[in-house]
Structure 1
């Protein structure tokens, strides 16, 4: 039986005919809207009886495959007993730059529609028209050809023949993949306590098309417990693709290792890891222009061969593998990884490729989402990341600089920047006595002015190389986008910084937008060791009443960890006074229980103060210190120093909520103890207080939402570094008198509540 390949006309012809270079120079943000507007304008000129947005579909057998090809034709024009296919294309470059004969990819799209219509209506010949319209001038150019049905049939079969090897490669792989997923056994000898329960719940959610919020303890093996059932669901035809979403590089590595382990047990799957553009770029300075970057120049001429080669020979498309093939074919490694994402079974990437409206993978169609599951690792991080993605700010400073830069150079930019600068000056004067202030709303006049600034910039930018103008334009554009989302979940505030003034559209509660961006996917699995309290995370991450929550107890025994609480004040006002007492606690611990320790502090400055005091009291113990802005190499060196069976004590000083308090696996004797200084409360600030007031106004405990829950999360993450397997033993010391208060006690894991008071 022939395998069915479903593909749209546009996807098919773009695969075969797309050519040229990546060019990330300025492109108008309104291009899509302009395109829609122009399509509608041209379609309004059609006569009675003509048809627009016509759905067409056909099936073609080729080389053991059945291709179902469909699409939406812009127009069918009936005139003088003839039918003309009309394909409308909007165009923003100067008209003299338009190819005289039109573009092969556009002709191919129109000819595919012509073939399907001619076949359907049994026509011997049909006219094909390309209508190019300039987005600004609305100048129109039409190109027309007549084709016989025989010519179109020959053309279509050539297109299918070009695409078939790639389609066959994907199809053969999927058959192998599905069989290997069905036969795959759990890749460890036994399940840890709670692992089977989590894996079962994930599988059930995917089958039932539901969402899950799972609090699963550190060390249980969450990565394999979510990926394994997802692969089993692919084998049963419930899923076709998964996204493994994470905020940190280190957890991406865990996902890659889990796939390697399953592969060694017989799994046949293709995975891609997407690494941020600035990290993976081969050039010293990221500039995606064909005349500057050889990897951007002619990218689309080489990309199909690069994709075919890597998919024919590799299963795990990690950063290293992608870089090696990218060099072989001279293609941009970042764009390469994005293009590969549409051909593989699993994508390991940052949250923003799904949830950030600016960078999400736009080509993932609604139909494909229905067979795609999202596995959201360390989901507690998504709250602040969500706030960040859905917020935007605008500052006075760039407009003042543009005013200076364009004086006597370009009057329109000068005037637009002057108006913006004047608006900020006026706002500053009306709030002279306040450093920070809340605005009830954005005046329509102001919004109109920033839209005008964006439009003027769009006209100037294609021929202008000013980095400041481009940067300001993107900032303004982002602001306009977020301004359209404003509702009760946002607050608008102003903040003065010396001579500068910043206006911020701040997303207080990202729940609705996270829900919106995740809409359409078959299942979403949010999991973390520290989704505590669960109802809070379920609410803020956009969960609904019909979603499921799962709380898995720790698989490790209470005997594995000994918890101590030292009731000292670590509040800001008391830090100087209790500094010596903290050093004494650390020294006493090291003396009684030598080994490898991590000590976590709520701020870098506090860390340095205690570190200095510690070194004065003890200059023999080996110490490491987390530096701000550590390179990946330095981070690796820091962790590599924690060796098992060391004869001398080693103490690492680190920041709560920083790079070493999450996703770090120091198994066995590599880590013997963790000391957490303070309850992790975020620093008191204007934004956190706005969050507090917002939730208080909804009848919630605003202080808990803004400070306590995010703080305790950092404490639990840091403590979770200690017990990672059934063999691990160690000591946790919590230093703060608030750990004895009932609200904090309730938030601690049950195995930490059997503590000894120091």
Structure 2
């Protein structure tokens, strides 16, 4: 098959659906046209250079930010609190007051636009409203300078539009806790404001021109992009064409394709090709785990070999705890040297970074060190200018996600690639769940200052009362939200917030952490509905007291994830295990018009010997009894074909028992085991033992770090033993999930237990066959695998046979021992 771009990829794209349209302002005035990211050419005006557009906020963040990175003036008001605060201030103004005033102006080919918060024509006062909580004197000076810069830019735009000789500028700070306004005013004449405006535009326009040139060069490079191999892998072209159509049509695509066909490259290539024709600003590659990010970076390297100077900028954004160079220090200039003068050194670092096309974790760390900057917050800044961002799911799907926020504010047209999308169900649930631990509260309360004793004591009373009410239960789901506890939490959050605002240095880290736990819990509780429930786990404490862990559990992430998917121009969710399709569509909130594709497997049934070991049970009550047969089965298969194997178990405890039994019975066979809490280095060492020509068995937990997202082709892995169906434990939480999903979708057991379990099994088995040349075996160890409902969830290309553990490895049994019937799966 030729690597030339096929018809579906080379066709001229049709106008895309689902383009963002800005909502009308609260004042009822029509919204201004969308403002693309700065530096992007937005067409030609008659006889003029290509028009460049930038929002006032973005302009000032680029030109007026200076000084330290300082996160002490926190927690800042939420977006909802900010909107409410603006409404309060506007409601206090007179009848002729204008809110959300659209303004725009020009400096050469740069068009600057935005919305001023409020204008009183009668008094000649233009206002910029900022919400806060606590002592305003603690607001860092560089924040104030940024706010004044925005107000002065708006001041010139208003003077120019209305022909004013001067104006009164008012910077209004509104404390959401006390509802008090603090107002700073200055008189400004039009000439002074114009000079201020011109100076900031002059400093920005060179950057905007550079970015426009980069965008043109990037799009030209992507238009000329060719597939990096002589041929597509079988099935890879069909996947690529479906992904391109999704980008062309502005749709969401759910794509199931067998592990090993090159899904990462097969989806990145067409979406990069679509960026110029669909005028896409950014491509976000979202992954659940580190190996997925690395596969994306490797695929981008393959594609990038074709590019010269003009190429997309690729950024890897990692978690703060993995990027932080000084975890013992706070994020402000008085504590961390990398925060001191951060914005003063940022411009030089930004210039250097954007001359580097591939900003992976190591490169970014080196760059940050060279400029004395925090690598995590440097990556956050560079997200504004990177074309492709490779990162974790949470940077787009979490409640306060950075990338989603940038896309909304800057009105980017974005494409999403969601890697191993079957993981998004559980990850989405986790993003919108919260837990409060009594031991964390006890420690926070002991370290709290005297001013917080009363609200924390009230919280303790309500919490203890709830625990005593349910003391007889080991774990229970609450029939109603715990209203009194939530009220006490809100009061405690407000009290700690005020303390933070007044005396931030006097707050112990343990109290600060619990404050954010409470804040998260309260915010999620505000959105609680049928998609979530509260649970309680009572525990006996010292002195005869009863304590309880309190949880708010999300079971249906669709109401939260669905809007994020619909907010993108297009989204491609891909995985080897997206069956049944309706399960993922229901739980993830896919749009009703989403497209689906199941790519035919390039592998043959003869490549993979799949056997159900029907005389062993791995149910909890049978595990001890299963060990001798399980150990004998593994040893027999190893003797039959020495090589590298993975053995998967339902828990660390079962894994430990099996590993110890195997090592005792067969000490001559190398065996190594996953342990809880392995860091990246330990995981890499575990995988390093799977080398060509190696021999041994690695013991791992199903659904863990080694059950998916790892690539062990050829002789690096020749087989797998899966001693579990992967079904979640039966407990009050999962049973409540089953009941609610039954009511919602009529398939509670399948949605809560069967489908999630079998997904893990298929993912783990997918480690064995990675290329059309691989051959291997998978042993499914449990009698339940032979049930029709279970076999129906196994890949269609598998030929599944049933046999007994003792028959594996018996002379002459290579084919006949398992020949008592087969199934196409």
TM range (shorter): over 0.9
**Correspondent of 1:158 among 199, 206, 220:** 199
Q: Which residue of 599, 612, 615 maps to 2:660? A: 612
After TM superposition, list the pairs within 5 Å mapping 1:704-719 onto structure 2. 704-719=750-765
Change beyond 3 A, Cα 1:32–1:208: closer
Matches within 5 A, 1:366-381: 366=408, 368=410, 371-381=413-423
For residue 413 of structure 1, report the CA deviation from its aligned partner.
1.7
Gaps of 5+ in 2: 1-43, 542-546, 804-817, 819-825
Aligned mate of 1:364, from 401, 406, 420: 406
Q: Distance in 2 between matches of 1:96 and 1:702?
A: 55
CA distance in 1, matches of 2:390, 2:142: 42
1:53 CA drift (Å): 1.8
Distance change (3 Å), C-alpha of 1:99 and 1:226: closer
Which deviations, in whole Å up to 9, do the C-alpha atoms of 1:474-508 show, x marking residues without a partner? Answer: 11111111111111111222111333302211112
In structure 1, the partner of 2:767 is: 721
Aligned partner of 1:327 in structure 2 is 369
Query: Corresponding residue for 2:390?
Result: 348
Alignment deviations for residues 572-603 of structure 1 (CA, whole Å, 9 cap, x no partner): 11122221111111111111111111111121
* Aligned residues between the structures: 745
CA distance in 2, matches of 1:495, 1:508: 18
- C-alpha spacing 1:598/1:133, structure 2 compared with 1 (3 Å): closer
3-state SS of 1:75 partner:
strand
- Give 2:292's aligned residue: 251
Q: Is 1:106 aligned to 2:133, yes or no?
A: no
Hey, what does 2:736 align to over in structure 1? Answer: 690
Task: Map 1:488-567 onto structure 2 (within 5 A).
Answer: 488-499=530-541, 500-567=547-614
Structure 2 vs 1, CA of residues 564 and 37 (structure 1 numbering), >3 Å: closer, same or farther?
closer
Are residues 1:74 and 2:121 paired?
no
Could you tell me which of 465, 478, 494 is aligned with 2:520?
478
Structure 1 residue 441 corresponds to structure 2 residue 480: yes
Distance 1:42 1:540, change over 3 A: closer
Normalised by the length of structure 2, the TM-score is 0.86
Structure 2 distance, partners of 1:740, 1:272, is: 46
Moved more, 274-283 or 540-549: 540-549
Give the structure 2 partner of residue 19 of structure 1.
66
CA positional deviation for 1:256: 0.3
Q: Is 2:462–2:484's contact at 8 Å kept on the other side of the alignment?
A: no
Tell whether the 8 Å contact from 1:400 to 1:418 is kept in structure 2 after alignment.
no
Distance 2:454 2:86 in 1: 33
- Over the aligned positions, Cα root-mean-square deviation in angstroms equals 2.3
Q: 2:230 aligns with which of 189, 202, 211?
A: 189
Identify the residue that residue 198 of structure 1 maps to in structure 2: 239
Q: Spell out the pairing of 1:164-313 with structure 2 (5 A cutoff).
A: 164-266=205-307, 268-285=311-328, 287-311=330-354, 313=355
SS of equivalent residue, structure 2 residue 338: coil
Counterpart position of 2:707: 661
Residues 187 and 132 (structure 1), Cα distance of their counterparts in 2 relative to 1, 3 Å cut: same
Q: Please state whether the residue corresponding to 1:697 is helix, strand or coil.
A: helix
Q: TM-score, normalised by structure 1?
A: 0.93
Deviation at 1:448, TM superposition (A): 2.4
Structure 1 residues 278 and 9: CA distance shift in structure 2, 3 A: same
Q: Secondary structure at the match of 1:343?
A: coil
CA displacement at 1:199 relative to structure 2: 0.9
1:679 and 2:688 matched = no
Is the 1:492–1:506 Cα contact (8 Å) retained in structure 2?
Answer: yes
Contact 1:166 1:308 in 2 (8 A): no
- Equivalent-residue separation in structure 2 for 1:27 and 1:717 (angstroms): 42
Does the 8 Å CA contact 1:54/1:76 hold for their aligned counterparts?
A: yes
1:38/1:133 contact within 8 Å kept: yes
Corresponding residue for residue 32 of structure 2: none
Cα shift readout 1:304-326 (whole Å, capped 9, x = no counterpart): 22112210x20011011110111
> Which of 671, 675, 682 is equivalent to 1:634?
682
Say if 1:525 and 1:34 are closer, same or farther in 2 by CA, change over 3 A.
closer
* Structure 1 runs of 4+ with >6 Å offset: 98-102
Aligned-partner SS, 2:621: helix
Residues 655 and 700 of structure 2 are in contact (CA less than 8 Å); yes or no, is this contact kept in structure 1? yes
- Aligned twin of 2:358: 316
Does the 8 Å contact 1:399/1:418 carry over to 2?
A: no
Q: In the superposition, relative to structure 1, how do residues 522 and 101 fare at CA in structure 2: closer, same or farther (>3 Å)?
A: closer
Of 445, 461, 464, which residue of structure 2 is paired with 1:425? 464
Deviation string 1:101-139 (CA, Å, 9 cap, x unpaired) is 994333322222222222223344444343445553725
Question: For residues 97 and 255 of structure 1, what CA distance do their matches in structure 2 show?
Answer: 43
Give the counterpart of 1:700 among 743, 746, 756: 746
Question: C-alpha distance in 2, partners of 1:666/1:31?
Answer: 46
Contact 1:206 1:238 in 2 (8 A): no
Secondary structure of the equivalent of 1:454? helix
- 1:130-149 equivalent positions in 2, closer than 5 A: 130-133=171-174, 136=178, 138-149=180-191
Moved more, 124-133 or 202-211: 124-133
Task: Indicate how the Cα distance of structure 1 residues 458 and 126 shifts in structure 2: closer, same or farther if over 3 A, else same.
Answer: closer
Q: How far 1:684 sits from its partner (Å)?
A: 2.4
What is the rounded CA distance, in whole Å, between the counterparts of 2:82 and 2:410 in structure 1? 24
Residue in structure 2 matched with residue 732 of structure 1 by the alignment = 778
Instruction: Tell me, yes or no, if the aligned pair for 2:128 and 2:151 is still in contact at 8 Å.
Output: yes
Q: Is the 8 A contact 2:96 2:122 kept in 1?
A: no
Determine the C-alpha separation between the residues in 2 that align with 1:624 and 1:174: 50
Q: Distance in 1 between matches of 2:446 and 2:226?
A: 67
State the SS of the aligned residue for 2:197.
helix
Instruction: For residue 153 of structure 2, give the secondary structure of its aligned residue in structure 1.
Output: helix
Judged with a 3 Å threshold, the aligned counterparts in structure 2 of structure 1 residues 716 and 3 are, in CA distance, closer, same or farther, namely same
Structure 1 residue matching 2:406: 3-state secondary structure: coil
Q: Is the 8 A contact 1:672 1:730 kept in 2?
A: yes
Q: Note if contact 2:296-2:390 (Cα within 8 Å) is conserved in structure 1.
A: yes
> Is this contact kept in 2: 1:370–1:520, CA < 8 A?
no
Q: Secondary structure at the match of 2:797?
A: helix
Q: Distance in 2 between matches of 1:471 and 1:109?
A: 33
SS at match of 1:292: coil
Residues 58 and 729 of structure 1, relative CA distance in 2, 3 Å threshold: same
CA drift at 1:59: 3.0
**Residue 443 (structure 1) shift:** 4.7
* 1:530 Cα offset (Å): 0.9
**2:107 paired with 1:55:** no
Q: CA deviation at 1:517?
A: 3.5
Aligned to 1:594: 642
